[in-house]
């Protein structure tokens, strides 16, 4: 029986610095979380996105959904040459569950990662390692292959072994999300043309909030001890959960951290899809530009959620298949170019770098 008396543990790493520091961590961390499905933006004292910000929000790269894709097709020589070897291909099996199903990720550095159950791993017949998250018995295995390595050159022994295992023995298929920057659809067309596919643009939704209670501690001096309550409040605002409900309420005990003030208005924006790190980086730059305007609020927040069932979390670290699937970061940005960065992961995941 699972206890519900307390939530699962999680890991939260905090970093405070300034964008003006040449060695700030923001760009590196944005690039480390490869597979993102949602970006949430909160702009206090703003009722609508200015044109420069709206253009970025509606300009996220499109992506493709290929239905029932045989995974061996990711080893197709033309696809490797036109897309993978050029860099920045993002691919992820869709609607597969990391704790139950076989999951696949194709990373922008050319690594192909397969998270497999024991039977599938044995059928595949390729070298791998037991999952870090096996419970008592070795029931799950991870295969990670660098498709750009010379040992995996098409026609070579390593390539043939993996290709034969995926095509003839395992015969694994999955709905697959795919995107490529900067090549786009042209570099993927040969693969797309052989299967049922559809192109998608990230979905953008926005809400204008009025008289929003905001913590007054949202300054560049925000202390780590206050970070959990602030992140909880940001999550409640994004999920449209009222923080003005009485503390004894059955529906919610969430509250805006004290002391607090009220923003006359605020803009809450969400972008959902297969979201690429370079688009998120562009958005951060435009938020900084927005904060430079006088007479606006002194802060803005951005939260980026990774796919809960991605086989990788930060960088190429294996993603937990146990209790929780957190892999997100929140970025609080201030008018003086300082920031507070919060990196979150499940208790069993590797600590974010």
- Please write the tens of the pLDDT for every residue from 247-276: 555 566 777 888 888 889 999 999 999 999
**Token code pair at residue 321:** 């298949």
List, for residues 2-41, the tens digit of each pLDDT value: 444 555 566 788 888 999 998 888 999 999 999 999 999 9
How confident is the prediction for the chain on average, in pLDDT? 88
Q: What is the mean pLDDT of residues 152-158?
A: 92
Number of Cβ atoms within 10 Å of the Cβ of 23: 6
The share of the chain scoring above pLDDT 90, in percent, equals 61
What pLDDT band is residue 181 in, cutting at 50, 70 and 90?
confident
Residue 327 confidence class, pLDDT cut points 50, 70, 90: confident
| Beta strand segments in 6-132, E | 10-18, 36-44, 63-70, 89-93, 103-106, 111-117, 129-130
pTM of the model: 0.90
The neighbouring-strand residues paired with 213 are 262
Higher pLDDT, 22 or 311: 311
Could you give the 3-state DSSP secondary structure of residue 236? helix
**Which of 13-17, 66-70, 218-222, 300-304 is predicted with the least confidence, judged by mean pLDDT?**
218-222
Domain residue extents for the chain: 11-60+202-345, 63-200
Residue 193 has pLDDT above 70, yes or no: yes
């Amino acid at each position: 029986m699972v206890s519900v008396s307390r939530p699962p543990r999680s890991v939260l790493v905090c970093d405070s610095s300034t964008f003006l520091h040449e060695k700030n961590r923001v760009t590196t961390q944005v690039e480390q979380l490869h597979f993102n499905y949602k970006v949430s933006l909160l702009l206090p004292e703003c009722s609508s996105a200015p044109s420069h910000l709206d253009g970025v929000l509606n300009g996220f790269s499109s992506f493709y959904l290929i239905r029932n894709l045989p995974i061996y097709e990711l080893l197709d020589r033309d696809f490797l040459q036109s897309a993978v070897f050029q860099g920045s291909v993002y691919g992820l099996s869709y609607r597969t569950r990391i704790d139950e199903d076989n999951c696949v990720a194709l990373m922008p550095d050319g690594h192909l990662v397969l998270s497999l159950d024991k039977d599938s791993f044995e059928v595949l017949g390729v070298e791998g390692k037991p999952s870090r998250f096996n419970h008592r018995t070795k029931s799950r295995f991870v295969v990670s292959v660098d498709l750009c390595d010379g040992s995996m050159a098409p026609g070579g022994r390593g390539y043939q072994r993996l290709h034969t295992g995926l095509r003839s023995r395992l015969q694994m298929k999955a709905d697959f999300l795919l995107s490529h920057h900067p090549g786009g659809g042209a570099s993927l067309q040969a693969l797309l043309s052989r299967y049922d596919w559809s192109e998608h643009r990230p979905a953008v939704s926005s809400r204008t909030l009025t008289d929003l209670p905001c913590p007054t501690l949202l300054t560049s001096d925000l202390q780590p001890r206050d970070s959990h309550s602030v992140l909880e409040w940001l999550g409640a605002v994004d999920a449209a959960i009222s923080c003005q409900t009485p503390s004894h309420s059955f529906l919610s005990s969430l509250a805006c951290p004290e002391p607090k003030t009220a923003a006359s208005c605020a803009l809450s924006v969400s972008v959902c899809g297969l979201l690429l790190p370079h688009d998120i980086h562009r958005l951060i730059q435009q938020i900084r530009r927005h904060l430079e305007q006088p007479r606006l609020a002194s802060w803005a927040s951005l939260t980026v959620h990774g796919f809960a069932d991605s086989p990788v979390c930060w960088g190429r670290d294996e993603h937990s298949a146990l209790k929780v699937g957190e892999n997100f970061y929140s970025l609080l940005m201030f008018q003086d170019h300082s920031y507070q960065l919060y990196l979150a992961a499940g208790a069993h995941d590797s600590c974010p770098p």
